[in-house]
Structure 1
Amino acid sequence: MVLSTLFKKAAHSSVVRAVMATTFCVALITSPIAQANQAQSEPAPQAETLRALLANIQTLAGRFEQHIYENEEKVEVMQGIFALQRPSQLYWETESPDESVLVADGETVWYYNPFIEQVSLFAQSQTMASNPLLVLLESDAWDGFYIQFDQGRWIIDGQDEAQGQQLVLRFNSANLLVEMELSDAYGQRSVFMLSDLQENQPIAPKRFEFIVPDGVDIDDQRDY
């Protein structure tokens, strides 16, 4: 939700939405997720099928269009570009209506807002803790989520600490991830439509490095 308005109460909400940013979504990884008991665990065959689909994605890059809803009322549409590399790296740049950049490098999530000339830093493990976007990037983050396949969509529901959060994934006939929907218990929902996709193509390591521009304020919210 990061994994964009993943990842301003806005800076923190973006991280949750992405992935993202809020998608990617979106920061990502090794977070302590509550363990689901056997009664809550996802149906094994469906979970393994989804795991296999996601395992085919080592890198993914393209464009996104994000539709943001609050209590089912559309409040904003955002567009930009993204790149992710499993297991823990994400680049998410919003181009319109406002510019921002989110970079997750495996340890830190950097959220840069050029309008206010500020970059906020979040511990990646804490930012996406108990968030269903984890399953996109972290192959071991499946405990605590209930997974089912319904009408061509993969529905991932959070349990325990992630209760009320839901991630919906849709793949096309070529098994490319083309749409994500992330919602929470507070009536916020983001729908991400992905296009111009390039799967498993090399991505330069510097894409996931953030260099703080001169003169920019640093808001370090990492909790060591």
Structure 2
Amino acid sequence: MIRDLISQNAVSSRLPRSSRFAAFAGAVLAVLPMLASASALDQFKSFVASTKSARGEFVQRQVKQEGGAGARVSTPASGSFSFARPGKFIWTYQKPYEQVLQADGDKLFIYDKDLNQVTVRSLGNALGSSPAAILFGSNDLEKNFNLKEGGSKDGLEWLEATPKSKDTTFDRIGIGLKDGLPQAMELRDSFGQISLLSFSKFEKNPPLPADQFKFVIPKGADVFQQ
């Protein structure tokens, strides 16, 4: 549904449904409780400074413009997420089918349960100027993004993040916040598609097991190193 959670070069396009991963994924934030009237930028900076880990649930939709026919909204996908900064995360699609995008801080694993296939890549600097960098990366976001206020919409205060790098499939990333908590993300790619993420049951800095992000290759799975 979203072209890439990490970046165009970070996720294998070999898997027929790898575009379901988003960015990330994502999709997946938490901040200190603040007044609803606080600016999105203030809320977001507090989130970046204070959130070391989080977990919650998401719903993801893709909106595609179809000329005179108007916009077409895809069937919702839903699942759960957890992350620990920097670069460790699990983004799990549970519906309409099961897939997992997981990183242990060193490697990225893409698992398609139906196909029983795992693609493994070095995480390296793949986060870069991608949506996942906002969600799971380091705190130095302004190194890779231009941040500015996006105004109020749908009861949320929006922050607009524009990647400084041209080597990304996303033109603009919107982050909607309320009461110091992220409620939504809006990802606009260079193909005119809009991917929408909404978050719920967001838990900030929960206790996570030390081996939470260690990926175990499923029995009998085909493994592809890239």
In the TM superposition, 1:7-156 aligns within 5 A as 8-11=15-18, 13-15=19-21, 17-20=22-25, 23-24=26-27, 50-71=44-65, 72-136=71-135, 137-149=137-149, 150-151=151-152, 152-156=157-161
Is 2:41–2:159's contact at 8 Å kept on the other side of the alignment? no
Larger RCO (alpha carbons 8 Å, 6+ apart) = 2
Distance 1:202 1:2 in 2: 25
1:203 counterpart SS class: coil
Q: In the alignment, what sits opposite 1:204? A: 209
Change (3 A) 1:182 1:109: same
Is 1:132–1:157's contact at 8 Å kept on the other side of the alignment? no
Instruction: Considering fraction of residues, name the structure with more helix.
Output: 1
Distance 1:195 1:124 in 2: 27
Q: Alignment partner for residue 195 of structure 2, among 175, 190, 194? A: 190
Unaligned runs of 5+ in 2: 30-38, 66-70
Is 1:132–1:165's contact at 8 Å kept on the other side of the alignment? no
Is 1:132–1:162's contact at 8 Å kept on the other side of the alignment? no
Distance 1:124 1:24 in 2: 18
How far does residue 73 in structure 1 lie from its aligned partner after superposition? 2.2
Report the TM-score, using the length of structure 2 for normalisation: 0.76
Is 1:18–1:25's contact at 8 Å kept on the other side of the alignment? no
Task: Between 151-160 and 128-137, report the one with greater CA deviation.
Answer: 128-137
Distance 2:191 2:225 in 1: 26
Q: In the alignment, what sits opposite 1:39? A: none
2:212 counterpart SS class: helix
Backbone CA RMSD of aligned residues: 2.6
Distance 1:61 1:84 in 2: 6
Task: Between 207-216 and 120-129, report the one with greater CA deviation.
Answer: 120-129
Change (3 A) 1:146 1:85: same
Q: In the alignment, what sits opposite 2:177? A: 171
Q: In the alignment, what sits opposite 1:40? A: none
Change (3 A) 1:189 1:160: same
Task: Between 179-188 and 47-56, report the one with greater CA deviation.
Answer: 47-56
Is 2:27–2:131's contact at 8 Å kept on the other side of the alignment? no
Equivalent residue letter for 1:119: V
How far does residue 203 in structure 1 lie from its aligned partner after superposition? 1.1
1:208 counterpart SS class: coil
Distance 2:144 2:87 in 1: 19
Equivalent residue letter for 2:62: I
Report the TM-score, using the length of structure 1 for normalisation: 0.77
Task: Between 82-91 and 120-129, report the one with greater CA deviation.
Answer: 120-129
Distance 1:196 1:47 in 2: 22
Change (3 A) 1:104 1:153: same
How far does residue 2 in structure 1 lie from its aligned partner after superposition? 4.8
2:46 counterpart SS class: helix
Unaligned runs of 5+ in 1: 27-44
Equivalent residue letter for 2:114: F
